[in-house]
Structure 1
Amino acid sequence: MTPDTPTTLPAPERHAILRVMPMPADANIHGDVFGGWIMSQVDIAASIPAARRAGGRVATIAVNAFTFKQPVFVGDLLSFYADIVRTGRTSITVAVEVYAERQRLSAEVVKVTEAILTYVATDDQRRSRPLPPI
């Protein structure tokens, strides 16, 4: 297998936190979905478990890692899986994996993106606050 060969993987056996299908407005003239659009969806997906753990408002403070493994096309059904991998006093780090179900001639599922983002819990004045106990 060469580095450019798509790896067909089954979707993880966990529940997707977000599922979305990119539309033509999310792509360039060749039908490839903009990386920035994918990044914004990853941020939304990662913020869900972060906000749940924080018991309220969170703010993105870092994109620690972001890897585009395969292109995303208009019509792909994207599934976002997000898991908390670390917590600090005020921060929550979340790992996200994104899989695309290709809607082409034959159904295939490929991992298209993986990322790690860090959030900080904030209060109503948008200042950092300690995470509540579990």
Structure 2
Amino acid sequence: MAKINRDPIIRTAPQPRDVNNNGDIFGGWVLSQMDIAGGVLASRRAKGRVVTVAVEAMTFHQPIKVGDVVSIYGEISKVGRTSLHVKLTTIVVRKLDPQEIKVTEGTYIFVAIDDDGKPRVVPPSDEE
């Protein structure tokens, strides 16, 4: 796999407490890490609070193991009136192997909210 030439949103390492009954990292742990990463990107772009409203097109390509270094990369793929779609990719580097492996990818959908938890308009980006 080609190296991704940008910094990850999150870089972490799963612990033994995060394994499922097969000895691999529990899928829910991966989903929660991706949700955190997506929320970081979405809230920056929305300039405020966001909530996750959906996860679509989630694909698990390879298992994650204890000792892997997990990096999550993302990009805003679509901005609606109140919503943002964030495409996320999870890459691991195994303990003794420097090769990057794509293990999970999916799109998370967030909605910008105000202080009362009601949807609000996503402001134009600084580039617009």
After TM superposition, the score normalised by the length of structure 2 is 0.93
> 1:10: how far off?
3.6
Asked if 1:126 is matched to 2:117, the reply is yes
1:6-45 mapped onto 2 (5 Å cutoff):
9-45=1-37
Size of the aligned set, in residue pairs, is 125
Instruction: Choose from 41, 47, 53 the match for 2:45.
Output: 53
Unaligned runs of 5+ in 2: none
Tell me if the contact between 1:17 and 1:45 (Cα under 8 Å) persists in the aligned partners: yes
Q: What is the Cα-based RMSD across aligned positions, in Å?
A: 1.1
> 1:64: how far off?
1.4
Output the CA distance in 1 between the equivalents of 2:82 and 2:49: 12
Output the CA distance in 1 between the equivalents of 2:2 and 2:123: 36
Output the CA distance in 2 between the equivalents of 1:29 and 1:88: 40
Give the share of equivalent positions with the same residue, in percent. Answer: 45
Asked if 1:112 is matched to 2:103, the reply is yes
SS of the residue aligned with 1:43? helix
Write out the 4+ residue segments of structure 1 that deviate beyond 6 Å after TM superposition: none
SS of the residue aligned with 1:42? helix
> 1:132: how far off?
1.3
Tell me if the contact between 1:10 and 1:110 (Cα under 8 Å) persists in the aligned partners: no
1:53-132 mapped onto 2 (5 Å cutoff):
53-104=45-96, 106-132=97-123
